[in-house]
Structure 1
Amino acid sequence: MRIKKGFVLRDVCGEKIVVAEGKENIDFTKIINMNESAAFLWEKVKDTDFDVDTLKLLLCDEYDVEEATALADSQTILNQWVEAGIVE
């Protein structure tokens, strides 16, 4: 998987928001608010190929979390990204 070109993480009033740059930004359904761990993952995988296991390992390395919890959280985050159409 890979983050689609044209989507960037911005800090807006203290909130981490993924928005589309350019003409795609007209579609406001593609603006996504991210919590701290999701924003961390976004920053780590931007411009790289990744999968749910990559996200899991990143969470385990950064946070004090069990692998099963990290995997479940990673799958949830990835599903949200897929549903929003911001990854391919």
Structure 2
Amino acid sequence: MKLKEGFILRTVAGQTVALPSEGVTNLDMMITLNDTGKFLWEKLTVDAEKADLVEALLAEYDVDRERAEKSVDTFIARLKELDFLA
């Protein structure tokens, strides 16, 4: 899976947000990312499978596999809801 083209990350008031590069006319097309979300977002700029994302979280953060899998599942589900994945 991979992010659709046309999204950018910006830091606004100390928070990372992802939004369409054309600008936001619909606030539903904007998502605020925590550090883990930003990390996963950056991994999804190239094609990555769920297992790749889980392994990346395990390598980067002090987290157990169950929590890493749950975090990835939640993040992917939200991106699918917003239609951010190609």
Decide: shared fold, TM above 0.5: yes
1:59 matches 2:60: no
Q: Give the TM-score normalised by the residue count of structure 1.
A: 0.89
2:84 counterpart residue number = 86
1:14 counterpart residue number = 14
> Would you identify which runs of 4 or more consecutive aligned residues in structure 1 move more than 6 Å?
none
Q: Give the TM-score normalised by the residue count of structure 2.
A: 0.91
Higher-helix-fraction structure: 1
2:33 counterpart residue number = 34
* Unmatched tracts of structure 1, length 5 or more: none
Query: How far did residue 83 of structure 1 move?
Result: 0.6
* Unmatched tracts of structure 2, length 5 or more: none
> In the aligned structure 1, how far is the partner of 2:75 from the partner of 2:22?
25
2:3 counterpart residue number = 3
Q: Deviations over 1:33-83 (max 9, x none)?
A: 11110111112331x111221211111010011111101111111101111
Q: Name the amino acid aligned to 2:26.
A: D
> In the aligned structure 1, how far is the partner of 2:52 from the partner of 2:76?
11
Considering only aligned residues, what root-mean-square deviation do their CA atoms show, in Å?
A: 1.3
Question: Which secondary structure state, in structure 1, belongs to the residue aligned with residue 17 of structure 2?
Answer: strand
Query: How many pairs does the alignment contain?
Result: 86
